[in-house]
């Protein structure tokens, strides 16, 4: 019986040693993996360039953007059909848009009387209302065209009117 008891002790010691060995093996890779996680350098999140950072002033953003442009890219922006600059994420842009009496050239929109007729009212509040409608419709049209990836004539936000100068020649005179 003693022998049986000794075997049980050896079996028990062997089993305990096996469990300890296996437990040590099982934790070693986990500890190594955890050490790798701790030691691995944290990748920096890509930083957006200042010209795309809306929290900065328009002046700071413009200065940064222009500093990144080549002379050829700057020259390409001086024409009414400004070229895209893909490396900077700049879409093409068409500067040709008028709003003398609305933005109807870009599709359906409110059309107002000619500037000479509106100037004859001498109503500043009316002119503010007209300008507000034109700007709201122009912005809505621009957002629509941009969402469709269309950057063509009459789809931009640059408007060459309405005229501020009051006409001095009642025969039209083109202000």
The highest-confidence range among 25-29, 50-54, 108-112, 133-137, by mean pLDDT, is 50-54
Determine how many CB atoms are found less than 10 A away from the CB of residue 75: 11
Return d(Cα 129, Cα 122) in angstroms, integer: 13
Helix (H) or strand (E) holding 115, with range, is helix 115-119
Residue 55: per-residue pLDDT: 96
Average pLDDT of 158-166? 67
Distances in Å between the Cα of 63 and the Cα atoms of 46, 52, 68, 139, 167 are: 21, 12, 9, 25, 38
CB 84, CB 91: distance < 8 Å: yes
pLDDT of residue 14: 52
Q: Is the pLDDT of residue 29 over 90?
A: no
| pTM for the structure as a whole | 0.55
How far apart, in Å, are the Cα atoms of 103 and each of 21, 32, 157, 175? 80, 66, 10, 20
pLDDT of residue 13: 46
| CA–CA distance, 103 with 144 (Å, rounded to integer) | 14
Whats the size of the chain, residue-wise?
175
Residues 144-159: pLDDT tens digits?
988 998 888 888 888 8
Cβ atoms of residues 107 and 155 within 8 Å: no
What are 69-96's pLDDT values in tens digits?
A: 999 999 999 988 899 999 999 988 888 8
Q: Judge whether 162 and 99 are in contact, CB under 8 Å.
A: yes
- pLDDT (0 to 100) of residue 45: 72
Question: Residue 33 contacts by C-beta under 8 Å, 6 or more apart in sequence?
Answer: none
Residue 82, classed as helix, strand or coil, is strand
Task: Kindly state the tokens that stand for 58.
Answer: 């328009």
The residue among 63, 95, 67, 97 whose CA lies nearest residue 80 is 95
Query: What's the token pair of residue 169?
Result: 């020649």
């Amino acid at each position: 019986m003693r022998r049986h008891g000794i075997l049980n002790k050896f079996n028990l010691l062997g089993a305990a040693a096996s469990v300890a060995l296996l437990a040590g093996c099982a934790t070693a890779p986990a500890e190594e993996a955890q050490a790798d996680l701790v030691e691995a350098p944290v990748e920096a999140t890509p930083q957006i360039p200042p010209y795309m950072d809306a929290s900065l002033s328009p002046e700071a953003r413009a200065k940064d953007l222009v500093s990144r442009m080549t002379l050829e890219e700057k020259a390409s922006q001086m024409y009414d059909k400004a070229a895209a600059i893909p490396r900077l994420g700049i879409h093409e842009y068409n500067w040709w848009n008028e709003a003398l009496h609305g933005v109807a050239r870009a599709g359906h929109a409110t059309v107002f009387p000619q500037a000479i007729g509106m100037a004859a009212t001498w109503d500043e509040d009316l002119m503010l209302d007209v300008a507000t409608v034109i700007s709201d419709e122009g912005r809505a049209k621009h957002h629509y065209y941009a969402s469709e990836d269309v950057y063509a004539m009459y789809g931009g936000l640059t408007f060459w009117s309405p005229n501020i100068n009051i006409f001095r020649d009642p025969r039209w005179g083109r202000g």
